Structure 1
């Protein structure tokens, strides 16, 4: 029986120094970037909860939904907030604004 012969092709050896090439990055390199819209909506939602400004709560909720729709999960840093937390803060801002109107209600006349 004959053993299989191995044929070496020129440039096939990974240790060959003549086969080295310079490192070139791709044209669209992944850049870790923060989501400025989501971060600002989280800040504004907290501000709305403190001030109970009903007029800013609705645009804040719409912009938080917009930030989730336009998010790029592969471009977000590892420790940044998730899209669901931005929407939950927008809903929490709405609840914080309208809950006193529902719970307290109008004042009753004193007899």
Structure 2
């Protein structure tokens, strides 16, 4: 029986994008048993209007059943990550926190 892929929203600090690219590549590596549809924001949303950006992110969160918060030493400073986690919680997504490689203190 083939297991259905989970739809995952990745929440992270924009400055950690290089680490996130590595995680996204892992799902294509045959040595890892990791299979998901990535619903997170890949390209910056071309707007300075916070409500428009929130609407676009909310659409992605609504398609996911799991939100993975990727944690670096400065993630706690992001109002956007906090908002994404609040929206994910309201929607009923399972929330998983995962420290990025090399993080020593959060």
TM-score range, shorter chain: under 0.3
Which structure would you say has the larger Rg?
A: 1
- Compute the TM-score of the two structures, normalised by the length of structure 2: 0.28
Higher helix share: 1
